[in-house]
Structure formats: structure tokens, C-alpha cells
Structure 1
């Protein structure tokens, strides 16, 4: 009988690819999704959908019973506004409920999907690793802080409570099926010529399918209680925007945005939004993050989880083609 895997966040960007990878390996997939949530990327897939709330322990336990393992990919990846109690509820309390269900239902493995932002970033020459201490608290963003807290919960459960857990931490995901869109919004903005300039920083990029493959590999590979950064290429925003513009067939943003100007613009945007009672298009923490180079090494995940390293140009091309085919560029 095929093994049943519980997947939270199955209708998200990464979750949609994890579903497909699990099915390709002949796992049975049980997806815990919120009632009324968007399931555009899960059409007619042979999966069992269980409606429930991650914040309701009874719902999570009901979904977990009868499964062998769980991949916990659900999260609220919100940085604007930077502070929101709901982010802590979903990311930390939701993880607490998953851990409780793992213990009560006797699941044999938990793969927790975090973010590389819970580690300290480095330079291109010396990128951050799983050993680099967290430095993101300076930004004042609940998303990063809550994911640090959730990661620590899973780590403690693995080392103190004998929970068979592995933690994977994707960097910036690119590829098809980004229906919201999330990270693909950057590519869309480039394609529509909405970004006149580029900030001073940079980040690490990974094909979303590569991250999904390594996440599913973690069901049977890797060391329990360990974290793995799932990334690939470190690019400055100047380099990344030029690549995206090349794929989209447009002129890349040519104006270098100095850090002080970026921060001033964000402060002005926040001030105007507060007067109007709206969420600003850009906030100060977002500008601070964009001014830094969030560069990471995925050597450990490549070695121990067989993380593929698909060229980022292919990820950008596949994302662009999917957006084009689904009407996002009209």
C-alpha cells in the first residue's frame, strides 16, 4: 500500500511543486488546506484534500491520523506590514500544532519548511551557512522573527523529544505555478517595466522545483535534527534584474538606487500610507532588506539531500512562460 504523506501549504507556490513531486514518486498525498482557499494550482490532481485550520489542533490531528509523515510547508510569508500578530499565529502556533499532531498520531518523520532568512547572510565570497547566527532581528519583521522561533521549536523537538524532524530552508524561489504571485511578482514588475532602478543588495535564488525535490528527499535522506539551506545562485539585484529583463525581452532597470535614497523613499511611502490609512507599497524594513546582500551557500543540501542546481535562467524562463500562458502579462 502506498505511503500517505500529509502536506500543509499544498496550494502555495512551493507546496504545489511538492505535491507533484510526491505524486511522481507514488506517494499518497493528503493536503490540509483552509476552507475557501485558492486551489488554482491543484486542478484535478489525485490527492485527498482535508479542509481545516492550521490554528485548530483538532483539525491538524484529524488530518495527520493515518499518515506516515508530514511536510509542513504552510506559512504566512508577509513582510508588509512588517508587524502582524497573524504572522506569529500561523508560523509559530501552527508549527506547535503540527508538532503536537506528529507526536499524538505517531508520525515517523516531519520535514519542516523554513526560510534561509533564519540564518545570517554573508558575501558572495563567503556566503552564509546553516552555522551562521541569525541577524535579521535588526529589520523588525515578524515573518523572519516568527520563522526563527518556529525553527527553534522543531529543533528542540528533534533533540529533546525524539521527534524525527529535518528542517529545510529555501532561499528566493522562482519558477512556474506562482499563482498568487509571490516571488514571481519581481519578474512581473520587470516585464511590465514598473521598476526604474535596482537596489544595492542581492539575494540567493533557487528553482522552486529543485527546492521541492530536496524537500521530498528529506523524507528519507538527511540527518535528523539538521537544517539545510535550499538555494543556488547568488546574484545582485542588478544581475538578477538584467537576467529577468533579458528573458522578458525588455530593457533592464538602469538606475542604481543608493541605500539612503531607498530608505528615504520607503519612509515617505510609509508616511503617506499612514495618512491615507493604507498599507504602503514599500516599508522601511523592505528597503533595509533590499540594501543588504542576502547570500547563502547550499553546499550541505547538495551533498546530503541531493538538491539539484538548475540554472536560474531556466527558472526565470519557466516562470515567464507560465505567467504569459496564464494571462499575467496582459
Structure 2
């Protein structure tokens, strides 16, 4: 039986990856932070390893005896936009994982990035893996650190002959989100906390489809290649309408012009400085919402058999899970 070290195992995607790996007969060593929420792993036959990715000795010890590594561990915080912890975890943590994987001579490492490390496009001409990073203008340490971590992986492929494949999910939707990460948008809409509709949009994907393609990458795809894992390109107006239809709620009606969205973001930061606690928005988030983060995913469909579950299904399953677990 092959053993996979999975960092970030108790996260939204991590919980799905654990289940997909176990279903396919892999043994899973689940690397989790001390004191973190592990409800996503309840009842699963896992080898739980507690540690901090920023501690190289601990990461090396966790990697010992493993055949594969899936590095999903990351801090995804975008509010506040600047965070030393995000940079440290996403860059230094990745460096520690790469060094441990090289030393352990693992068969393959799968790095979980984000589609935002590539250039996005329009609905008619979406971005892909060939376009250069466009996110630096937002001033988000999350995006910048994930781009830097991606470069570290590519460098290790070249300099250390690390057999790494890089997968880059878009905006993930679905069940099992105990920490309420990307699904927070669904809950905000359900609770009528979204007053207006930004002019931009995103590419959305079912989290289980990302897990399937990621595990496929252990034996499929080419070393050193990046694959965007996504599905449907939807404007915020289209997505909000879909969510409202599935959850049987009224949807926001009014569009938020880009200048107004930017002003709201700036006022939120003033409120943060005056009151000392974060608000729901910042300037960087407003800038992102004004853009269309649209991507094409044909490369991953062809090379990794990326499924294309309709986003309506992902939204419905997320709400079903919310109801079952008393989030609504």
C-alpha cells in the first residue's frame, strides 16, 4: 500500500482529498497544525501527524516512509490583505515541504496552488496556464505568496529533479467546509449580508472534482506542468442568481459600480484603523471583485480527467450540508 503525506489535511479541500485517497486504497498521513479544527477528519482511518510546516525537522520526519506528498497546506487569509503569517506559512512552509520531499526521494509531489497565480481573461477569452501573473496589483499577500511558492516548486523541479506536478484550483464550492472558507459567500448571500452585485466574476469548481483531479495527478500529468482545476465561468450576477434559485432566497438586485466598490473598500480600511477590528471587506478584495477572474480548464480535463460537475450541484450539496450541520 502506497502512503501519501497530505499537508492541510483538515481543510476544506483536505477533507475531500483524504476521502478520495482512502477510497482508492492509499494510506494517508494527515499533517495538521497543533490545536486546529479536525472535524473534517472524524472517523477516518488516518495517521494523524501534528506539526507546523515552518518547522523543517518536523516536516522531514513526517515525510519519512511516504511514497507521495500532496502539499495542500496554506493560509488563505485575504483580510487583512497583508499578513506576515500568510507569507511565512505559504512560502517558508512550502520550502520545508520541498526540501523534505527531495531528501525522502518521494515518487511524486503534488503542489496545490491557486489559479490566480496566472493571468485571468475575459468570458470570451479566458486565461490559462500560459499567462503571466496579474495579481500583484491587488496587494494581497495570499496571492503573492502563492505565486512565490509556485516558483519555488518549479525551481525544485529544475535544480533538484523533484518530480512535482502543480494543480491550481479556482473558487471551490461544496460540502464539508467546517471552517467556512470559500463557502462563506453562499452563507453571506443566504443571510442577506450582500447588498449589491460586483461587476466582475469568477471561475467556480466543485471541491470534490478538485480532489479527484489532484489524486489523479499522482499518476497522471507531466512533471513540472501546471494545471488549472476549474469549471464554470460566471459573473457575480449569474452566480448570485444561481445561489438564490437553489436556496430559495431573494437575490441582490443592484449592481455596484467599480468606483463605489473601491470607495467601500477604502472606508472599510478606515474603519479598521479607527476601531481596531477587521470588517468584511478591504480595498484589495474590492479590486478583485471588480475584475473577471475567468479561466479555461481544457488542459486539466485532458491530462488529469478533471470532472465537470455542474456548479448548481455543488451549491445544492453545500446547502444540504449546511442544513445537516446547523449552519443555516
Could you say whether these structures have the same fold, taking a TM-score greater than 0.5 normalized by the shorter chain as the test? yes
**Residue in structure 2 matched with residue 104 of structure 1 by the alignment:** 103
**Residue in structure 1 matched with residue 322 of structure 2 by the alignment:** 323
**Residue in structure 1 matched with residue 49 of structure 2 by the alignment:** 50
Tell me how many residue pairs correspond in the alignment.
328
> What are the equivalent positions in structure 2 for 1:249-268 lying under 5 Å apart?
249-268=248-267
**Residue in structure 2 matched with residue 193 of structure 1 by the alignment:** 192
**Residue in structure 2 matched with residue 218 of structure 1 by the alignment:** 217
**Residue in structure 1 matched with residue 17 of structure 2 by the alignment:** 18
Where in structure 2 are there 5+ consecutive unaligned residues? none
Q: Give the whole-Å Cα distance in 2 for the aligned partners of 1:53 and 1:269.
A: 32
Q: Give the whole-Å Cα distance in 2 for the aligned partners of 1:66 and 1:161.
A: 20
Where in structure 1 are there 5+ consecutive unaligned residues? none
> Is the contact between residue 102 and residue 160 of structure 2 (CA under 8 Å) also seen in structure 1?
no
Q: Give the whole-Å Cα distance in 2 for the aligned partners of 1:85 and 1:61.
A: 24
**Residue in structure 1 matched with residue 230 of structure 2 by the alignment:** 231
Q: Which runs of 4+ in 1 moved over 6 A?
A: none
**Residue in structure 2 matched with residue 208 of structure 1 by the alignment:** 207
Q: Output one character per residue of 1:101-125: Cα deviation in whole Å (capped at 9) or x when no partner.
A: 0011111110000000000000011
Is residue 2:182 matched to residue 1:183? yes
The alpha carbon displacement at 1:280 in A equals 2.6
Q: Give the whole-Å Cα distance in 1 for the aligned partners of 2:178 and 2:44.
A: 16
Q: Give the whole-Å Cα distance in 2 for the aligned partners of 1:303 and 1:226.
A: 13
The alpha carbon displacement at 1:196 in A equals 2.1
**Residue in structure 2 matched with residue 282 of structure 1 by the alignment:** 281
Partner SS, residue 6 of structure 2: strand
Q: Give the whole-Å Cα distance in 1 for the aligned partners of 2:199 and 2:166.
A: 30
> What are the equivalent positions in structure 2 for 1:237-248 lying under 5 Å apart?
237-248=236-247
Q: Give the whole-Å Cα distance in 2 for the aligned partners of 1:152 and 1:35.
A: 28
The alpha carbon displacement at 1:44 in A equals 1.2
Q: Give the whole-Å Cα distance in 1 for the aligned partners of 2:275 and 2:195.
A: 25
Q: Give the whole-Å Cα distance in 1 for the aligned partners of 2:31 and 2:193.
A: 36
Q: Give the whole-Å Cα distance in 1 for the aligned partners of 2:271 and 2:164.
A: 45
Partner SS, residue 41 of structure 1: helix
**Residue in structure 1 matched with residue 295 of structure 2 by the alignment:** 296
